[in-house]
Amino acid sequence: MIKDCNYLLVAGSFEELESKLVEQYISYFGKLLPFQYLYTDWLAEKLRPFRVNLKTYSKPTLCSDYIHIESETMVGSFEPKKFLMFLKFLKFTTSLDYKTEIFDGDSYRIIIFRVKNFLDVSHSHYNSQDEYYKMQKTRDFLRDLQQNLFISCFTDSYFKSIVTIPKLELYKCKKSKCWLTRISLLEQLFDYQYPFKYPDLFEIESIKLNKDQYLIRFEVIRLFSSKSPTKKFYLREFFQQYKVSNQRICNMKQIFIESIQEFYQFGLIDSKVKLMLHNDYIDIENLTTFNISDGFILYEKIVSK
Amino acid sequence: MKQNKLTFESEGLTVDYVTFNFEQLNESRKAHLINYFYKLGFNSYDTDRKYRNAFDESIKYNSKNLYQIRFIKNITPHWKGISVAFTDDSGAYFYKLAKNNQIQWDLFDLAILSRFDLNYLRPLQAEEALGVLEFIPLITH
């Protein structure tokens, strides 16, 4: 390694030199340092894009940046469903044909697609069977995209500082009578190394998710998309925000358990969970709606090459 | 923004220590190095690691110069060459000069790069300070 560095340094190949050394640095300290301490949050941040421990073949996935949404916003105007559709939209557009245009020095993908095609991949986000209603809602969502509302939930300061979707047109094709969208999307949205990849908890065949399932599954993703590898779920405080019956709270806890077990199967977390009730560590399969009453702590698993 | 290209800047890493090993460093080459780096803002020092409390002996010094180049001998008992070291900020500055094509590499044609350290500084919040005392033993044992 040091021989290569010598050569690259003298040859002035700084891009290659830095790339090699950064990878080496991250990989070395990734094996050396423990992640469950806040002092190594920076290392977890560097390792996440390179982790190799996810079982991505088992399920459809969603990618996300670090998410920062204030809890007051969550209870107020924020619509988790639309944010999740945004994550799905990013994935959907990755596979579409495009041409590139430059606006103000930044590269944008110009993509044209049928609204119905996006509706087909995001249908699980609608409870209604009414096609007209779903089409209407999908068009509303696409219009909302341009306001940068969803990207502002990501913590990346570059994304926040730039218009990621400067242009979006919705129109009806005269020939085929179908709705089309022509959209410009910042190229870097596609190059970005998203730190998190999740099993798509919202892509469920044949059944529609109810409001609580949506809320809890989104909460799991929101809390997990944080910089610290130690993910704290303060359930008592969480449920205090919602005035619901005990039975419903019990059902919601069960959704928490199922969601994090799915994360475990996917390879995202360690099998040990710390309970806030008595500070005990237990195996993930032993979680119950009773023992998670106060909350629990998950430990993110990050294994890199 | 985290793109595929990894750079020291994108990852918040800084060069912390650079050394070149010369199997033999004659006085003429050493003088060239001293004078060349003096003009670039480096004071020069000799260091002998033979002694437990090795100290730096100044070779050429100007109070306006902010960086140091060290000529270290007896780095190990078995190797008799000279290590030319740029430590701490001097390492970072040396690398900056290299990136700006301001290093005359033929001065190092008889040397090999032997050390290139990087560091990452994680800012510590006031409330985190106490826990460090528990964390450090975990990673040093």
Give the chain B residue whose CA is nearest to the CA of A160.
Answer: B1
pLDDT value, residue A147: 73
> Between A166 and B2, whose confidence is greater?
A166
Question: What are the structure tokens assigned to A233, written together?
Answer: 């779920």
Euclidean distance between CA atoms A136 and A115, whole angstroms: 10
The distance of Cα B90 from the centroid of its chain, to the nearest Å, equals 6
pLDDT value, residue A244: 86
> A58 with A266: CB under 8 angstroms?
yes
> B134 with B125: CB under 8 angstroms?
no
Q: Where are the domains of chain B?
A: 13-140
Give every CB contact of residue B103 below 8 A, 6+ residues apart in sequence: B94, B97
pLDDT value, residue A71: 57
Could A46 and B11 be called an inter-chain contact, meaning their C-beta atoms sit closer than 8 Å? yes
Question: What are the structure tokens assigned to B98, written together?
Answer: 């290299």
Amino acid present at B64 = K
Could A39 and B132 be called an inter-chain contact, meaning their C-beta atoms sit closer than 8 Å? yes
Could B98 and A21 be called an inter-chain contact, meaning their C-beta atoms sit closer than 8 Å? no
Question: What are the structure tokens assigned to B24, written together?
Answer: 């033999």
> Between B86 and A45, whose confidence is greater?
B86
For residue B3, the chain A residues in CB contact (below 8 A) are: 188, 191-193
pTM (2 d.p.): 0.76
Could B13 and A37 be called an inter-chain contact, meaning their C-beta atoms sit closer than 8 Å? no
Strand A106-114 and strand A179-186: pairing?
Answer: antiparallel
Give every CB contact of residue B52 below 8 A, 6+ residues apart in sequence: none
Q: How many CB atoms lie within 10 A of CB B109?
A: 8
Rounded to 5 degrees, φ, ψ at A195 are -75, -20
Give every CB contact of residue B80 below 8 A, 6+ residues apart in sequence: B73, B74
> Between A145 and B94, whose confidence is greater?
B94
pLDDT value, residue B4: 58
Euclidean distance between CA atoms A163 and A106, whole angstroms: 10
ipTM, 2 decimals?
Answer: 0.90
> A236 with A294: CB under 8 angstroms?
yes
Task: Tally A–B CB contacts below 8 A.
Answer: 82
CB of A15 less than 8 A from some CB of B: yes
User: Could you tell me which residues are beta bridge partners of residue A109?
Assistant: A100, A185
Euclidean distance between CA atoms B130 and B141, whole angstroms: 19
Give every CB contact of residue A228 below 8 A, 6+ residues apart in sequence: A38, A41, A44
Q: Where are the domains of chain A?
A: 1-32, 34-64+199-305, 66-193
Could A9 and B113 be called an inter-chain contact, meaning their C-beta atoms sit closer than 8 Å? yes
Euclidean distance between CA atoms B1 and A65, whole angstroms: 11
Helices A14-32 & A2-11 angle (0-180, nearest 10): 150
> B94 with B86: CB under 8 angstroms?
yes
Could A34 and B13 be called an inter-chain contact, meaning their C-beta atoms sit closer than 8 Å? no
For residue A6, the chain B residues in CB contact (below 8 A) are: 112-113
3-state SS of chain B is CCCCCCCCCCCCEEEEEEEEEECCCCHHHHHHHHHHHHHCCEEEEEEECCCCCCCEEEEECCCCCCEEEEEEECCECCECCEEEEEECHHHHHHHHHHHCCCCCHHHHCCEEEEEEEEEECCCCCHHHHHHHHHHHHHHHC
pLDDT band at residue B91 using 50, 70 and 90 as cut-offs: very high
Helices A80-94 & A131-145 angle (0-180, nearest 10): 80
The residue of A1, A7, A9 whose CB has the most chain B CBs within 10 angstroms, and thus the best one to mutate to test that interface, is A9
pLDDT value, residue A77: 57
Could A38 and B3 be called an inter-chain contact, meaning their C-beta atoms sit closer than 8 Å? no
pLDDT value, residue B100: 96
Of B1, B132, B138, the CB nearest to A34: B138
For residue A159, the chain B residues in CB contact (below 8 A) are: 1
Would you list which residues of chain B are within 8 Å, Cβ to Cβ, of chain A? 1-8, 10-13, 98-99, 101, 105, 108, 112-116, 118, 120, 122, 128, 131-132, 135, 138-139
Give the chain A residue whose CA is nearest to the CA of B118.
Answer: A25
First to last CA, chain A: 16
pLDDT value, residue A154: 74
Rounded to 5 degrees, φ, ψ at A262 are -65, -40
Could A22 and B135 be called an inter-chain contact, meaning their C-beta atoms sit closer than 8 Å? no
Could B131 and A39 be called an inter-chain contact, meaning their C-beta atoms sit closer than 8 Å? yes
The residue of B1, B4, B21 whose CB has the most chain A CBs within 10 angstroms, and thus the best one to mutate to test that interface, is B1
The residue of B3, B5, B9, B11 whose CB has the most chain A CBs within 10 angstroms, and thus the best one to mutate to test that interface, is B11
Q: Is the pLDDT of residue B37 over 60?
A: yes
Residues in chain A with pLDDT values less than 70:
57-58, 70-78, 124-125, 148-150, 152-153, 155-163, 204-207, 305
Task: List pLDDT tens digits, range A43-64.
Answer: 888 888 888 778 876 678 888 8
> A181 with A169: CB under 8 angstroms?
yes
CB of A12 less than 8 A from some CB of B: yes
Give the chain A residue whose CA is nearest to the CA of B113.
Answer: A6
Question: What are the structure tokens assigned to A87, written together?
Answer: 């994550």
Helices A115-122 & A80-94 angle (0-180, nearest 10): 120
Q: What is the mean pLDDT of chain B?
A: 90
Q: Is the pLDDT of residue B1 over 50?
A: no
Euclidean distance between CA atoms B70 and B88, whole angstroms: 12
The CA–CA distances, whole Å, from A198 to A81, A85, A154 equal: 16, 14, 16
Of B98, B105, B139, the CB nearest to A33: B139
CB-based burial of residue A221 (10 Å sphere; 0-12 exposed, 13-18 middle, 19+ buried)? buried
Euclidean distance between CA atoms A289 and A304, whole angstroms: 33
